[in-house]
Structure 1
Amino acid sequence: MSEVRIGTSGWSYDHWNGVCYPHGTPPARRLDHYVSRFDTVELNASFYRWPRDATFAGWRRRLPPGFAMSVKAPRGLTHGKKLYQPEVWIERIARCWHELGDRRAALLLQLPPSMERDDARLDYFLTHLPWWIRVAVEFRHPSWDDDAVYAMLERHQAAYCVMSGAGLPCVLKATAPFVYVRLHGPDHGHLYAGSYSDADLRWWADR
Structure 2
Amino acid sequence: MAGQVFIGVSGWRFEPWRGNFYPAGLAQAKELHHASRQFNSIELNGSFYSLQRPSFYAQWAAQTPPGFVFAVKGGRYITHMLKLRNAEAAMGNFFASGLFALGDKLGPILWQFPPNFGFHPEVFEPFLASLPRTTAAAAKIALQRDQRLKGRELLEPLHRQRLRHAVEVRHASFVDPAFIALLRKYKVAWVVADTPQPWPLYEDVTADFVYMRLHGATELYKSRYTSEQLDRWAACIDAWRQGRQPADARLISQKLPPPAESRDVYCYFDNTDKLHAPDNARELMTKLGLPLTTSVAGHWTR
TM-score of the alignment, normalized to the shorter chain, above 0.5: yes
Question: Which whole-Å CA distance do the structure 2 matches of 1:30 and 1:91 have between them?
Answer: 30
Separation (CA, whole Å) in 1 of partners of 2:46 and 2:101: 18
Look up the match of 2:206: 175
Q: Name the larger-Rg structure.
A: 2
Match of 1:186 in 2: 217
> What is the deviation of 1:199?
3.2
1:198 pairs with one of 276, 283, 298: 276
Match of 1:106 among 105, 108, 118: 108
Native 8 Å contact 2:8 2:40 kept in 1: yes
Letter in 2 for 1:116: G
Kindly indicate whether the alpha-carbon contact (under 8 Å) linking 1:10 and 1:41 is maintained by their aligned counterparts in 2.
yes
State the 1:154 CA deviation.
Answer: 1.0
Taking the TM superposition and a 5 Å limit, the aligned residue runs for 1:47-62 are 47-62=48-63
Letter in 2 for 1:106: P
User: Residues of 2 paired with 1:11 and 1:62: CA distance?
Assistant: 13
| Structure 1 residue 169: Cα displacement | 4.0
Inter-partner Cα distance in structure 1 for 2:127 and 2:74: 12
Whichever residue aligns with residue 110 of structure 2, its letter is L
**CA deviation map 1:37-56 (0-9, x unaligned):** 00100112222122112212
Render the CA deviation track for 1:84-138: whole Å, top value 9, x for unaligned: 1221122223233322221011111111111111112111112222112311100
Q: Is the 8 A contact 1:73 1:108 kept in 2?
A: yes
Alignment of 1:36-75 (within 5 A): 36-75=37-76
CA contact (8 A) 2:190 2:205 kept: yes
Match of 2:85 in 1: 84
| % identical aligned pairs | 35
Residues 139-178 of structure 1 correspond to what in structure 2 (within 5 A)?
Answer: 139-165=169-195, 166-178=197-209
- SS of 2:59's equivalent in the other structure is helix
> In the alignment, is the contact (CA less than 8 A) between 2:37 and 2:65 conserved in 1?
no
Matched residue of 2:78: which SS? Answer: helix
Residue by residue, what CA displacement relative to the aligned partner does 1:150-194 show, whole Å, maximum 9, x if unpaired? 111111111000111132242011101110000011239xx9548
Q: Distance in 1 between matches of 2:169 and 2:37?
A: 32
- Unmatched tracts of structure 2, length 5 or more: 135-162, 220-224, 231-268, 285-302
Q: 2:119 aligns with which of 110, 117, 120?
A: 117
Distance 2:94 2:50 in 1: 12
Hey, what's the Cα distance between the residues in 1 that align with 2:8 and 2:198?
22
1:168 alignment partner AA: W
Q: Distance in 1 between matches of 2:24 and 2:65?
A: 23
For the residue of structure 2 that corresponds to 1:56, the secondary structure is helix
Give the TM-score, by structure 2 length: 0.62
| Contiguous gaps of at least 5 residues in structure 1 | none
CA drift of 1:140 comes to 0.5
Q: Number of paired residues?
A: 201
Residues 1:129 and 2:137 aligned together: no
Checking the alignment, whether the CA contact within 8 Å between 1:43 and 1:70 is kept in structure 2 is: yes
